[in-house]
Amino acid sequence: MQPGKIIPWRASARSDCLFNQAPSQKYAQCTQIKGMPSLQGPQNQGRLKNVNCPGPSVLTKFVNFDPKSSGPIIPNKITDGQRSAQQPTQGAELQPTVRKKAKFRVAGQSEDQAYYYTFRLHAAKPTLNPTTAAERVSARLITHLNTASSRGILTLLEYLRDLPQHMNYNPSLRDSVDLFCTAWASYRRGQEANKFIDMPAYGKAIRSLRRTLQSDKAITLQTLASMVILGRAGEFFDPGQNLGQSMHEKGLAHMIMQLGAPKPDDHLHRFLMVEAFGILLPYFFMTGETNFMNQAPWGDIIKDCIIEKAKGTHLLLPLLIHCSIGDRVPKILHECPILRQDPFNPETFDRAMLTIAELQQMDDEADKALPYAIQNCVRAKQMIERPDLNGLTETSYEFPNIFVPRILMALCYMKLTILRMRYDWSDIYQLPNKAALYEKTRNLCIHLWKYIPYLLKLETFIASIFHCGLYSTFEFATRAEKERLLDFFAETDRYKRRFPVDRNELEKTIVHHAMLLTGRVILSESLEGA
C-alpha cells in the first residue's frame, strides 16, 4: 500500500486501513477519503453488503389472537378486476362520498382475522412546583381538602376552596390559612392539641393580621376571610379558647360593619357573612349586645343565603324561626338572673310575668317549626331513625350529611333553652304547668340524645361544637343516663381537652355551662368559667 494513494471503498480496505496498522497511523489513510460516512450508521452497513437500506425499524406489529384460526393470516387483497369495478368510469357522474361509522370488532370476531388498535399517547402535565409562600399554603390547603377522611369540615366550611385564589393579595389570609392547616395536620397525625398562644404559626398569623389592619388595605374581603378563618381555627383546634369571651369576635364584628353589605354576585363575601354570623352568635349570646347582623342590610342578605343553602332540605322554616328566636333570647338571658334575685318584689313580678309570656310565645313558634322539619326530613330520607340497642336511647338518627343535624340540633337547643327558663319560672312561682313543662323538656332531651351516635362518628373536633346543645339535657337525665353523657363529653373532648379529666369535676363543669346558657347565672360575672 503506497501512501497518498486513494483506495476504493471496500471491506478489505477498511480492515487493512483500520486494523493492520499501528494506533498512531490507524486513521491516516481514512482521513484522506473526503466525505467518508460514519461506519456506525445503518445505511453504511447495507452499503458494505450491497443491500438497499430498508429504513428505520417498524415499530408496529400485527398479531392474530384468534384461537379459531390456523395457518398464516391471509391479507384482504383486492384484485385488479375488483379495483377497476370499484373505480368510476370516465365521464360518469361522481357521487358524494358517504362517511360510514367505523365498526369496532371484539377480538375473535374479525372477518379478516386482523385486529386494529388505536393508541394515543397521553402526556400528563407536569405539576408546577410552588414558588411563593402563598402558593405553598394554597397547595397545603388543597391537599388537606382532597385527603380529609371526613367530609364534615367541607360541609361546614364550603368556602375554603375559594380561598387559594385570594392568598397572593393578602399575607394575613395566607398566614391564617397556614395556621388552620398546621392545627388540622396536627390533629390528623394524632398529636395532642396545643394552645394557640404557644404556637409559632399563631403568633405569625396575629402579627400579619395586625400589620394588615394598620395598612391602607385593612378593610378588604381578604382581611374578613382571614379573621373568619382565625375564628373557626380557634373553635375547632384551640384548647384554650372559652365560650364567647374571645376579643377576636369583637374585632370581627367591627370589620363586618366597616366592610358593609356584600354585593349580590359576590358569593364568597355572602358565605363569609353567614359564617361570621355563626361565629358571633355565642359572642352576642354571652355579652348581651345587640346582634346587628339580624338587622338591615345584613339580616336580609343572611336570610337570602339561608334560603339558598336550605333548598331541597325542608329546613327553610326552621332556619328562619331559629334566626328570629335567636335575636330575642340573649336579652332574656341577661335579664333573668337579675329578676331571680328578688322574684317576689311587685315590680320584679310584673317584669317576670312579661318574660314568661314572651318565652311562651317563642316556644309556640318553635313548636310549629321543629315537628314540621323532622317529618319532612324523615319523609325525604334526609333523616333515618333506626333501632339502637347500645345507645342511650332505643333508637338513633342517621344523616347523609352534617348540614341537616346541625340545623335541627340548633333549633332543638334554642327550644330547650326556652323550655328550661319556662320551667325555672314555673318552679319559682309554683305555676300549675310545672309538671307538664318538665315532661315536655325531658322528651326534647331524649330526642337530642338520639343524635349522639351520629356525632360519635364525626371527627372529634367537629363533634365538640355540638356540646352546647347537650349541656342542658344533663340535668334531666337519670343517673345511668348521666354516666353515658359523661362518656360522650369525655370522648369528644379527648383532642382539645377543655374539660377536666375527673368525672366529678366534669359533671360540675357541664352543670355550670347549663346554668350559664339558661339564664341562671349572671353572665357578666361568669365569663371566666365559660
| Residues 25-43, mean pLDDT to the nearest whole number | 49
| Residues 358-386, mean pLDDT to the nearest whole number | 90
**pLDDT at residue number 84:** 45
Least confident of 42-51, 191-200, 358-367, 496-505: 42-51
Residue 337, in any domain of the structure: yes
For residue 54, pLDDT over 90 is answered with no
Distance (Å, whole) CA 466 – CA 412: 11
Number of domains forming the structure of the chain: 3
- The 10s digit of each residue's pLDDT in 391-422 is 899 999 999 888 889 889 988 999 999 999 99
| Residues 247-261, mean pLDDT to the nearest whole number | 88
Domain with 21 in it: 1-31
**In this structure, what DSSP letter does residue 70 have?**
-
pLDDT bucket at 424, cuts 50 / 70 / 90: very high
**pLDDT at residue number 99:** 46
Distance (Å, whole) CA 21 – CA 194: 82
- For residues 168 and 476, the model is more confident at 476
For residue 515, pLDDT over 80 is answered with yes
pLDDT bucket at 102, cuts 50 / 70 / 90: very low
For residue 120, pLDDT over 80 is answered with no
Distance (Å, whole) CA 303 – CA 331: 21
Q: Are residues 277 and 320 in the same domain?
A: no
**In this structure, what DSSP letter does residue 455 have?**
H
Q: Are residues 328 and 416 in the same domain?
A: yes
pLDDT bucket at 501, cuts 50 / 70 / 90: very high
| Residue 363: CB atoms within 10 Å | 18
**pLDDT at residue number 383:** 92
- For residues 450 and 240, the model is more confident at 450
| Listed residues 291, 309, 327: the one ending a domain | 309
Helix segments in 220-345, DSSP class H: 221-237, 247-259, 267-287, 298-309, 316-326, 329-341
Distance (Å, whole) CA 213 – CA 170: 11
H or E stretch covering 386: strand 384-387
What are the contacts of 134-142 at 24+ separation with CB within 8 A? 134/167, 134/168, 134/174, 135/168, 137/167, 137/174, 137/177, 137/178, 137/181, 138/163, 138/164, 138/167, 138/177, 140/178, 140/181, 141/177, 141/180, 141/181
Distance (Å, whole) CA 279 – CA 464: 15
**pLDDT at residue number 63:** 57
Q: Are residues 320 and 345 in the same domain?
A: yes
**pLDDT at residue number 309:** 76
For residue 491, pLDDT over 60 is answered with yes
**pLDDT at residue number 178:** 95
| Residues 86-97, mean pLDDT to the nearest whole number | 46
Among 287, 267, 285, residue whose Cα is nearest residue 277: 285
Q: Are residues 245 and 186 in the same domain?
A: yes
Q: Are residues 337 and 284 in the same domain?
A: no
| Residue 324: CB atoms within 10 Å | 14
Residue 170 carries which side chain, given as an amino acid letter?
A: N
For residue 219, pLDDT over 70 is answered with yes
Q: What is the pTM of this model?
A: 0.71
| Listed residues 276, 309, 342: the one ending a domain | 309
Residue 82, in any domain of the structure: no
For residue 57, pLDDT over 70 is answered with no
Among 287, 288, 291, 266, residue whose Cα is nearest residue 278: 291
Residue 119, in any domain of the structure: no
| Residues 121-134, mean pLDDT to the nearest whole number | 68
Residues 157 and 272 sit within 8 Å (Cβ to Cβ):
no
**pLDDT at residue number 301:** 85
pLDDT bucket at 41, cuts 50 / 70 / 90: low
Residue 78, in any domain of the structure: no
**pLDDT at residue number 316:** 81
Residue 231, in any domain of the structure: yes
Q: Are residues 474 and 370 in the same domain?
A: yes
Q: Are residues 485 and 346 in the same domain?
A: yes
Residue 325, in any domain of the structure: yes
Q: Are residues 248 and 261 in the same domain?
A: yes
Q: Are residues 288 and 344 in the same domain?
A: no
Q: Are residues 278 and 167 in the same domain?
A: yes
Residues 6 or more apart whose CB falls under 8 angstroms from that of 97 comprise none
**pLDDT at residue number 529:** 42
For residue 506, pLDDT over 70 is answered with yes
Q: Calculate the alpha carbon distances from 366 to 371, 382, 413, 418, 451 in Å.
A: 9, 20, 11, 10, 19
Residue 101, in any domain of the structure: no
Q: Are residues 162 and 183 in the same domain?
A: yes
Look-up of cell digits 317576670: 352
Residues 6 or more apart whose CB falls under 8 angstroms from that of 206 comprise none
For residue 206, pLDDT over 70 is answered with yes
- The 10s digit of each residue's pLDDT in 148-189 is 766 667 767 888 888 998 998 899 999 999 999 999 999 988
Residue 362, in any domain of the structure: yes
| Listed residues 287, 309, 331: the one ending a domain | 309
- For residues 527 and 145, the model is more confident at 145
Q: Are residues 229 and 322 in the same domain?
A: no
Least confident of 85-99, 198-212, 292-306, 435-449: 85-99
Residues 6 or more apart whose CB falls under 8 angstroms from that of 219 comprise 255, 258, 259
Distance (Å, whole) CA 106 – CA 66: 10
